[in-house]
Amino acid sequence: MSKRVLIVDDAAFMRMMIKDILSKDGYEIVGEAENGSKGIESFKELSPDLVVMDITMPEVDGIQAVKEIRKIDGNAKIVMCSAMGQQAMVIEAIQAGAKDFIVKPFQADRVLEAVSKALA
């Protein structure tokens, strides 16, 4: 059975890029959310195998969302997305429980590597 992925990013274009990369590799995209609070709700509803989450978003940022999701499911697997130069936030996200991170602009092989590593 293919792994179920939830994509959380405030930019529709970024969600589309990630969705494209992952679905071509056989992952099932079960949902998308445009901010952290919707991401948390979607996580509760969909119970995905993995969440790909942007760090910088309106309402609830990615780091806060990781903390909330990890409260719901301590084994939740989350890969963070960040723009260049957000190292401090990436470290904070990893400390909050994210498994890995990918940097924008996305490179397909790096996205797939991070996702398969997080699911391993």
Express each pLDDT in 33-61 by its tens digit.
Answer: 999 999 999 999 999 999 999 999 999 99
Residue 82's pLDDT is 86
Name the superfamily (CATH) of residues 4-119. Answer: Response regulator (3.40.50.2300)
Residue 87's pLDDT is 81
From edge to edge, which strands make up the β-sheet containing 100-103? 28-33, 4-8, 50-54, 78-82, 100-103
Determine the average pLDDT of the residues in 16-21: 97
Residue 75's pLDDT is 96
**Closest among 27, 19, 23, 30 to 2, alpha carbons compared:** 27
Give the start-to-end residue ranges of the domains of the chain: 4-119
Determine the average pLDDT of the residues in 78-83: 92
Residue 83's pLDDT is 82
